[in-house]
Structure 1
């Protein structure tokens, strides 16, 4: 079994889900009492969130590279980033390590293809919805069209992520508003 290097903490709530799902899949495929071999580097998200909103992606890229290199040196056979937004710097991280970085958009594309869909809606942070690092990978590598909400709804989704979801808050009002979001090309 390969050892997965997990870059987590963005937020720890998200990392918990990745860890749970990975281990459930290992158990489903190999049976009890199997679990994944993994090494997790969990960041202090307060620092990363501040840098994101200040637009200091160069500093974040350097930090992500250092973390990935450390995970590789610690014995990881592959890297997973336990959040969508930080895949913005995935190409730079991959250039600086010798092991594969599994891109979340590739996994999403596999699931989209399995459902025989060619167009999907994308909800995430404003960085993920507005920038091209995720949408372009789906379009260029898999010919999947991506649609996003209008500016007002993108702002709403972004705020729910940073003010509720990263703290484990599932607000029924926010959940209902998510269901009403319209997506546009």
Structure 2
């Protein structure tokens, strides 16, 4: 059990894919270290799925099975002493209900914190860029619309490009110059169509960004805002960290 003077334990459902889980682990530790100073780091428990099994369930459309898989992981995190749960994957938030039902721990929802961050940045029309299950499935549409942001889905050709980059490269730990250039070109074309911001609704897509792109207010990386929310939840009551992601 976490004592009052200790950060709460973050429970991560990871492995979807492992490169994005590495990003989460590094970022939450950096966030806690920055907030508390010295040699402080985050209190984290990770349950890492075998992504091949997750991918198989996604492609088969077996979302009930996928929910059961993540629910089992959430119960493991609870048993290991986590104080909260986070799904380190956008697409798998489709089964967030199963995770919530699996244990009594609060779920820090990537969809809600991302939609709020998009609103706070003043983005009116946001391209939602992620796997076809996320973008075309409308995972973010309701949360964005409820905050006055118009979600824009990629066209069929652009969606195939995004899926190719995610599944064939990023999920396997590859970040090629071709993929980075293609993704930059896609965002430029969307801006030309009147989109004034992009939600990187896949936890690997941030790997394609240049340092300058990472700090652009027009690019909302779901990993960044999710990690900020996790650090805030872990440290609430100890620091002056903001409650809302910027």
- TM-score bracket for the superposition, by shorter chain length: over 0.9
Measured against aligned partners, the alpha-carbon deviations of 1:12-59 in whole angstroms (never above 9, x if no partner) come to 001001111111111111112111101100011011111111111111
CA distance in 1, matches of 2:131, 2:21: 16
Measured against aligned partners, the alpha-carbon deviations of 1:55-80 in whole angstroms (never above 9, x if no partner) come to 11111111111111221122111111
Structure 1 residue 115: Cα displacement: 1.6
1:102 is aligned to 2:108: yes
- 8 Å contact from structure 2 (residues 141, 151) kept in 1: yes
CA distance in 2, matches of 1:143, 1:100: 26
CA distance in 2, matches of 1:101, 1:44: 21
CA distance in 2, matches of 1:118, 1:106: 17
- 8 Å contact from structure 1 (residues 7, 82) kept in 2: yes
Measured against aligned partners, the alpha-carbon deviations of 1:135-171 in whole angstroms (never above 9, x if no partner) come to 222223x332211210111011011100000122112
Q: Give the TM-score of the pair, scaled to structure 1.
A: 0.92
Relative to its length, the structure with more helix (as a share) is 1
Within-5 A mapping of 1:87-98 = 87-98=93-104
The unaligned stretches of length 5 or more in structure 2 are: 1-6, 196-246
Q: Give the TM-score of the pair, scaled to structure 2.
A: 0.70
1:4 is aligned to 2:7: no
Partner of 1:136: 142
Identify which range, 39-48 or 86-95, moves more after superposition: 86-95
The unaligned stretches of length 5 or more in structure 1 are: none
Choose which of 170, 173, 191 in structure 2 pairs with 1:168.
173
What is the Cα-based RMSD across aligned positions, in Å?
1.6
CA distance in 2, matches of 1:137, 1:97: 24
CA distance in 1, matches of 2:50, 2:155: 31
Measured against aligned partners, the alpha-carbon deviations of 1:101-130 in whole angstroms (never above 9, x if no partner) come to 111112212322332223211111110111
Kindly tell me the number of residue pairs found equivalent between the two proteins. 184
Higher RCO by CA contacts (8 Å cutoff, separation 6 or greater): 2
Aligned with 1:76: secondary structure? coil
Structure 1 residue 132: Cα displacement: 2.3
